[in-house]
Amino acid sequence: MKKYSAFAIVSLVSLVADQWTKHLATQSLKPLLPGAKVVWQDWFELRFAENTGIAFSLFQDLAWGRVLLSLVGGIAVLFLFFFLRRPESSRKIVQVGLGLLAGGALGNLIDRIAHGRVVDFIFVRHGSFAWPLFNVADSTVVIGVFLLLLFGKEKK
């Protein structure tokens, strides 16, 4: 069990950070709708949005989207646990990457099942460039994938 300690800790911290920040966003940003809190002028804002779709609000209008997206998220988490049993997962960096993926996937899965939507609140922009709203779970998933792509293969 010690083999999976980094995975478990990172998953839990990611999940708690995601749920906590979504709660804070709902409490403090939702009342500001349609406004935002500017954190860094022309770069970074906090805005409240509820997303019933996936990344970039894709597939919001699917009648059965909540079920499909929950199913896909659940299968993804199960796949991560399966991958964790592979020999490559004995490396801490792989456990951290998988933990970030699991924590983020679980965070959005919990929201989708419990509320039928995911809270997004981080907005990055500069000039005419604007990245779609996202949340901590989305960030941990991206960072986890990045770590696995960079460091997931063992050097021979």
Catalytic residue from among 18, 61, 111, 120 = 120
Structure-block tokens of residue 19: 């749920």
Which among 4, 22, 7 has a CA at the least distance from the CA of 110? 22
Catalytic residue from among 18, 42, 61, 138 = 138
The question of whether 120 is a catalytic residue gets the answer yes
Residue 71 neighbours by CB distance under 10 Å = 12
Report the alpha-carbon distance of residue 103 to residue 42 in Å, rounded: 30
The question of whether 18 is a catalytic residue gets the answer no
Burial status of residue 61 (CB atoms within 10 A of its CB: 0-12, 13-18, 19 or more): exposed
> Mind telling me the catalytic residues?
120, 138
